[in-house]
Chains A and B, each alone.
Chain A
Amino acid sequence: KAGVTQTPRYLIKTRGQQVTLSCSPISGHRSVSWYQQTPGQGLQFLFEYFSETQRNKGNFPGRFSGRQFSNSRSEMNVSTLELGDSALYLCASSAAGDREVLEQYFGPGTRLTVT
């Protein structure tokens, strides 16, 4: 089975711009989660989508949004970029059912640099 793929792998944007990151989960996986990782804050949960619905949400401002398509592929969008948004953005998929999230499989991440 192919793993989780994320595009693009690297991105450089300037403050005030917006960015869209893409994630393709493992075939058959319906749950997709997004994380932000920075040296200072560690690995922080952004949101999780299951069957095109946001099921769980972390403590991030509304500038961070996401969506999931019927084929389980997911995108996350960050509007009005700030320098502090520079981070590794990780996507993870799992075969989770409705009641709990089971083991997650992470993609390689998108390295976003905001200048």
Chain B
Amino acid sequence: LAKTTQPISMDSYEGQEVNITCSHNNIATNDYITWYQQFPSQGPRFIIQGYKTKVTNEVASLFIPADRKSSTLSLPRVSLSDTAVYYCLVGTGRRALTFGSGTRLQVQP
């Protein structure tokens, strides 16, 4: 299994860029990297998914180095509403459905 390691928590201020890194040393060739955001008492929300290099959408960017052993979710100019738990998932099939502990991001005014 491609075990993932993320920081337990991070703090930031409104307007700053936040980068959350996920380590996945045992990533397999067919594995995708997916990030979700979860607010209290709600289901997770898909943010972004990638396989290699860089992916960008209207919400975030995902940077994946050539060796794919880590990935970085970048949130530009965070606001208070970005306070949430962020999960990094790696794999296909069942492994793509296994959530870790996530990173609790706290954005301060």
Contact = CB atoms under 8 A, between A and B. Distances in A.
Interface of A is mostly: strand
Contact of A88 (B41, B94, B97): B41
Residue among B49, B93, B101 with the most chain A CB within 10 A? Answer: B93
Given A43-B99, A48-B97, A109 B92 contact: no
Contact of A42 (B30, B92, B94, B102): B102
Contacts, number: 63
Given A43-B44, A48-B94, A90-B43, A100 B99 contact: no
Interface residues of B, number: 23
Interface of A: 4, 33, 35, 42-45, 48, 55-58, 88, 90, 92, 99-109, 111
Interface of B: 30, 32, 34, 36, 38, 41-46, 49, 87, 92-94, 96-102
6 contacts: A35-B99, A48-B94, A57-B94, A100-B96, A104-B44, A106-B44
